[in-house]
Amino acid sequence: MSNHIMHAFDNDLKMLEGKIMQMGEMTKTAIDLSIKALMTHDIELAKTVRAGDKAIDALQRDIEEKGTLTIAKRQPMANDLRAIVGTFRVANDLERMVDLAKNIAKRVMTIDLSESQLKKAPMAFDTLSRLANERLDSVLKAYAAGDTEGAKTIWGSDDEIDAGYNSLFRELLTYMVESPKNISACAHLLFCAKNIERMGDHATNIAETVWYVAKGEILGDDRPRG
Amino acid sequence: MSNHIMHAFDNDLKMLEGKIMQMGEMTKTAIDLSIKALMTHDIELAKTVRAGDKAIDALQRDIEEKGTLTIAKRQPMANDLRAIVGTFRVANDLERMVDLAKNIAKRVMTIDLSESQLKKAPMAFDTLSRLANERLDSVLKAYAAGDTEGAKTIWGSDDEIDAGYNSLFRELLTYMVESPKNISACAHLLFCAKNIERMGDHATNIAETVWYVAKGEILGDDRPRG
């Protein structure tokens, strides 16, 4: 690329990365609020989370459109091309995380934790969602800094969230066994727990993207699993 | 574009679309086999499904890499550019469908439908997965033909699969209420049912992509829902 085009490409890429970080902040908020709504049975808050995903969808489309235009106009190669493709991938993972938060918010309508034997369950949800949000926060920092070693560490360390999910899964089954009255609410809570675990998986995907953008290689399938 | 570049672009696009159709066939097979493994508690078949997703992942990466190279080399604009972005999106949806099938296969290890009161459940899974696979088949045909009206019809018609999922969800809850012994297996079956419903959602996404590629517009958020 000529100096002029290189400069224009760098500006385009910075603009796209800025949009990713903006999406990331919105995603963290959506996760926080969905769990808060679940824990406090706050229907209005749940509605706010559900309405918020339009803004995320619009940002994702914006990133895809501006990104493809950048590829067409600047014809980047190798790592520059990967950097643009990387913004598509990260935007996709963030959009899916918000979708999972929205799904938790949707279930708040049908679950009331305060009115049952399930009063203890929210603590486990709080812990699990904090882990997911910390994971997202760390991987976004690694993305912004192009920190491949940091990304690899995050990629290899979803044991804690997996263990938390498995323990919550078992806990919910015991409430179901204790009383048939808990079964319907717990069925929805199982999906909420699974959604948080999947948020952790998307953070793992983002870590893979950070690695791929910088190195042009795929982080192997030999990821250590708990 | 000059005639020469237009011809080269068309060849690139045809090659990418061929890979999408290949991914589509593999996806249909993965869905079929995962449900067959679930219904017959066939651990070996489940293992085959789990191993098969590497080939899908590789095809998806191949589409992304060849597609970005095409954008960089041919600088397509407007609908040509959207056609390439469309292949990324469809590949992503297909990869996720295979992931869902793989997740069902993983649960086959822990669920044995034949050894419990759950003997009736498989029929509902068979029906639901057939619906999902028919939906995928139709939308792939619409994609291959660039048939926007066909895509719109598919996009507006996931009522049947949603109704089937809701009815299966309730059926599974009744097995749980009937006997605590069913609770653990049914918890896994709830996730299997949800996975099939989500396959239907991905078919909807593909229908949206067919529309977007041809028209450059987003199919509205006013989709009729059951």
Instruction: Render pLDDT for A55-103 as a digit per residue (tens, 0 to 9).
Output: 999 999 999 889 988 988 888 888 898 899 899 999 999 999 999 999 9
Q: pLDDT grade, residue A158 (50/70/90)? A: confident
Residue-averaged pLDDT of chain A = 90
Interval B171-222: pLDDT, tens: 999 999 998 889 999 999 999 999 999 999 999 999 999 999 999 888 865 5
State what percent of residues in chain A have pLDDT above 90.
Answer: 69
pLDDT of residue B184: 92
Helix axis angle for B121-145 and B159-178, nearest 10°, is 160
Name the residue in chain A with its Cα closest to that of B76: A72
Task: State the nearest Cα–Cα gap between A173 and chain B, in angstroms.
Answer: 7
Q: Which of B184, B187, B96, B217 is nearest to A96 (CA)?
A: B96
Q: Which two tokens stand for residue B144?
A: 């291959």
Using CB atoms within 10 Å of the CB of residue A177, give its burial: 0 to 12 exposed, 13 to 18 middle, 19+ buried. middle
Say which of A71, A176, A177 has its CB closest to residue B72. Answer: A71
| Dihedral class, residue B21 (left if φ above 0, else alpha if ψ from -120 to 50, else beta) | alpha
Task: Output Rg (C-alpha) for chain B, integer angstroms.
Answer: 20
Decide if B54 and A176 are in contact by the 8 Å CB cutoff.
no
Round to whole Å and give the CA distance between A25 and A17: 13
Q: Which two tokens stand for residue B52?
A: 């098969």
Show the CA angle centred on residue B112, arms to residues B25 and B184, nearest 5°: 110
Round to whole Å and give the CA distance between A86 and A67: 10
Using CB atoms within 10 Å of the CB of residue A162, give its burial: 0 to 12 exposed, 13 to 18 middle, 19+ buried. middle
Per-state percent for chain B, helix, strand, coil, to nearest 5: 85, 0, 15
Interval A181-203: pLDDT, tens: 899 999 999 999 999 999 999 99
Model ipTM over 0.90:
no
Average pLDDT over residues B22-48: 94
Between positions 71 and 110 of B, the ones with CB within 8 A of A are: 71-73, 75-77, 81, 84-85, 88, 92
Decide if B72 and A76 are in contact by the 8 Å CB cutoff.
yes
pLDDT of residue B111: 84
CB A21 within 8 A of CB A94: no
The residue among A3 and B90 whose pLDDT is bigger is B90
| Dihedral class, residue A75 (left if φ above 0, else alpha if ψ from -120 to 50, else beta) | left
């999910």: which residue's tokens? A165
Assign B226 to helix, strand or coil.
Answer: coil
Q: Is the pLDDT assigned to residue A3 strictly greater than 90?
A: no
Name the residue in chain A with its Cα closest to that of B67: A85
B123 close to A (CB below 8 A)? no
Round to whole Å and give the CA distance between B130 and B196: 10
Q: Which residues of B touch A190 (CB under 8 A)?
A: 187, 190-191
Name the residue in chain A with its Cα closest to that of B74: A72
Whole-model pTM?
A: 0.89
Average pLDDT over residues B62-74: 88
Interval A4-62: pLDDT, tens: 778 899 999 999 999 999 999 999 999 999 999 998 889 999 999 999 889 999 999 99
Assign B109 to helix, strand or coil.
Answer: coil
Say which of A64, A81, A176 has its CB closest to residue B85. Answer: A64
Average pLDDT over residues A164-185: 92
Round to whole Å and give the CA distance between A158 and B192: 23
Q: Which two tokens stand for residue A188?
A: 């929805």
Q: Which residues of B touch A69 (CB under 8 A)?
A: 81
Say which of A72, A173, A194 has its CB closest to residue B71. Answer: A72
Assign A200 to helix, strand or coil.
Answer: helix
Name the residue in chain B with its Cα closest to that of A53: B221
Number of continuous H segments (helices) and E segments (strands) in chain A:
8, 0
